[in-house]
Amino acid sequence: MQIDEGVLPIVEMMNCTGWIETCGSCQGHSKGPHKLPYVLFYCRQNMIKHLAIILDATSKELEDIGAPFDIDCQLVFSTDIGNNTVDAYLGWVTFEIRPLVEKGFQMKKVDKEIFIYTIANKFIDYLK
């Protein structure tokens, strides 16, 4: 699967955990329905607490640096992802993360980079 260069840092760090497996991503585009970056992934059910710790730390970091957006993580059905026809593996749950922005806010490239690298760095911190 080809991974957009813009989300590669998040995808690599998430896949390094051993308890997350990414299954789709996009760095966001200037036109079309996918303007915001996102990552779809499976997480082992018994590790969701650790995922929450990382996402909370990411949210706090974004707030501390004054980012005009936050992180949004939602439970999704696997069969709603692209061409998937099967659900997550037994004992795994499917999630999507993307920026949480005010209606009408246009993310610039630098905003997308801040979002992506903040998440990637929190995964790095966790894996140390």
**pLDDT tens for residues 47-91?**
999 999 999 999 999 999 999 999 999 888 766 666 555 667 788
Which 3 state secondary structure label does DSSP give 45? helix
By the 8 A CB rule, do 4 and 62 touch? no
Mean pLDDT check: name the lowest of 38-52, 64-78, 84-98, 107-121: 84-98
Which listed CATH number (2.60.40, 1.20.120, 3.90.1150, 1.20.1070) goes with 5-127?
3.90.1150
- What is residue 58's predicted lDDT score, i.e. its pLDDT? 96
- What is residue 28's predicted lDDT score, i.e. its pLDDT? 87
Region of 66 please: left (phi>0), alpha (psi -120 to 50) or beta. left
Q: Which of 88, 77, 4 is nearest to 38 (CA)?
A: 4
Let me know the angle formed at the C-alpha of 43 by 91 and 21, rounded to the nearest 5 degrees: 115
Average pLDDT taken over every residue of the chain: 89
Instruction: For 51, list phi and psi in degrees, rounded to 5.
Output: -60, -45
What is the spatial distance between Cα 99 and Cα 115, in angstroms, rounded to a whole number? Answer: 7
Domain ranges of the chain: 5-127
Between 44 and 34, residue with greater pLDDT: 44
Q: What is the mean pLDDT of residues 4-30?
A: 92
By the 8 A CB rule, do 102 and 84 touch? no
Q: What is the mean pLDDT of residues 90-111?
A: 89
